[in-house]
Structure 1
Amino acid sequence: MAAARATDLTKVYGQGETQVVALDSVSVEFRQAEFTAIMGPSGSGKSTLMHCMAGLDAISGGSARIGDVEVSSLKDKKLTQLRRDKIGFIFQAFNLLPTLTALENITLPMDIAGRKPNKEWVDMVVETVGLSGRLKHRPNQLSGGQQQRVAVARALAGKPEIMFADEPTGNLDSRSGAEVLGFLRNSVQQLGQTVVMVTHDPVAATHAGRVIFLADGRIVDELYDPTAGSVLDRMKRFDAKGRTS
């Protein structure tokens, strides 16, 4: 079953001569308990696709669904509710509140929503991301990798139907980045989470089970069980063809 699905999804910015087609009739399915990486050249529509799927950006045409809910049909209040209850987000910037402890940052979205955290689930998430000994620390007492782990745990804590990660290792050194990617993969394998990650890093993409390649706002290829070599080969092919369609 699909956790999210785009059908002929189109996103256009501007009008007339300045018009840019960021997404050109994209159709793709993100299945439950699957880790998908989205890759492509700069300006290919990677982040736009994720933002449209998550309801962070309005779409120009087609359809974007989370589960069986059509995202574009929702009014602001319902859209906010959908993002809060069904979607987890991880960004390149960790977006933690400096005055709160790691645990308080993890449970913050649920606290704001007035929902009581499921202690058993939160404990399992904390263990999965390896934060058990750091819960009372504030962000300035944590390394960059540990801060991003807190962000991963926060995204997982509400049991979202799907988790979107936009360059989640972009601000991390290679070791911390590998740890965070390992935790994301564990959340898929052990917790049944669905993860969609935008990345430009072929090594990061190898943690996913599937890679989708975008160029000029269209899906041009996909790859299962990727290796760094196979991802690089595909990327080089697009460059050689001058951003092929």
Structure 2
Amino acid sequence: MTKAYGSGETRVLALDNVDVDIARGQFTAIMGPSGSGKSTLMHCLAGLDTVTAGRIWIDETEITRLRDKKLTQLRRDRVGFIFQAFNLLPTLNALENITLPMDIAGRKPDQQWLQRVVDTVGLSGRLKHRPSQLSGGQQQRVAVARALAARPEIIFGDEPTGNLDSRSGAEVLGFLRRSVDELGQTIVMVTHDPVAAGYADRVLYLADGRIVDEMWNPTSEQVLDRMKSFDTRGRVA
């Protein structure tokens, strides 16, 4: 896929002929310097942004051909999102925030699955609490549970631990890892943090809008060493 902004002399190529497969049931991290195109890639894969050229599929559905209404429906029913800002409604308690997308869609939650998700993220004793009564880490756990509860085919996380301290971030990353291992979830996460990337099965490295490397079963030390090979302008050194 290719994604360009502007035209003529002001044209900026954010993604330059990127070709990638995301495996079901795996945790994939996307890394790269600022301006490398990692957030653009995630937004295009998730159907939040359009591509200039190329095609994207989720399972057998080519999302680049969908009209707005169908694309909105696909994002609601088949895709989950976790953002750096928790995006919780302050007037709703934790449980109501978790089930909100399904409530809007007019779908009843699968209670057995919902309980399993709540147990996985460790929120059983906090379901009646509103966001203001929860720590930052607990609020992000609610956001993780909300993404998981609808059983989406894929979850996209945009710096999901960016607003958390290291302890809370490790908790949330542990829950994401468990959701892959125990619940069979598929996760794609954009991050700049080598520690966060160390939780993934696979790390994709972007520079200048292209995938320049990948790493399987990484450690945070290996990720950090690889990131050092990018210079300050985001180019491969």
Bin for the TM-score computed over the shorter chain: over 0.9
26, 34, 37: which one aligns with 1:34: 26
Q: Report the count of equivalent residues.
A: 237
- Report the equivalent of 1:147: 139
**Cα deviation, residue 217, structure 1:** 0.3
User: Quick one: which amino acid aligns to residue 76 of structure 1?
Assistant: D
Number of the residue aligned with 1:202: 194
* Structure 1 or 2: more strand by fraction: 1
Measured after TM superposition, the shift of residue 240 of structure 1 is: 8.1
The reply on whether 1:51 has 2:43 as its aligned counterpart is yes
Query: 2:57 aligned with 1:60, yes or no?
Result: no
Q: What's the offset of the Cα at 1:199?
A: 0.1
Residue aligning to 2:71: 79
Residue 160 (structure 1) aligns with = 152
Q: What residue number does 2:123 align with?
A: 131
Structure 1 unaligned blocks of 5 or more: 1-8
Q: 1: CA distance between counterparts of 2:224 and 2:102?
A: 40
Report Cα offsets for 1:84-103 as digits up to 9, x if no partner.
Answer: 11100000000000000100
Contact 2:208/2:234 (<8 A) preserved: no
Distance 2:55 2:86 in 1: 30
Report Cα offsets for 1:187-233 as digits up to 9, x if no partner: 00000000000000000100101100000000000001111111111
Change (3 A) 1:195 1:205: same
1:114 paired residue among 95, 98, 106: 106
For structure 2, the residue ranges without an aligned partner over 5 or more in a row are none
Using the size of structure 1 for normalisation, the TM-score is 0.95
Structure 1 SS opposite 2:170 = helix
- 1:221 counterpart residue number: 213
Q: CA deviation at 1:244?
A: 2.4
| Structure 1 residue 242: Cα displacement | 6.2
Do the aligned partners of 2:38 and 2:206 also contact (CA within 8 Å) in 1?
yes
Cα offset, 1:152, TM superposition: 0.2
**Identity value in percent:** 73
Higher RCO (CA 8 Å, separation ≥ 6 residues): 2
Give the whole-Å Cα distance in 1 for the aligned partners of 2:190 and 2:230.
Answer: 17
Q: Which of 16, 33, 56 is the equivalent residue of 2:8?
A: 16
Q: How many Å separate the matches in 2 of 1:26 and 1:115?
A: 36
Does structure 1 conserve the Cα–Cα contact (< 8 Å) formed by 2:33 and 2:234? no
Provide the rounded CA distance (Å) in 1 between the counterparts of 2:114 and 2:172: 17
SS in structure 2 opposite 1:80? helix
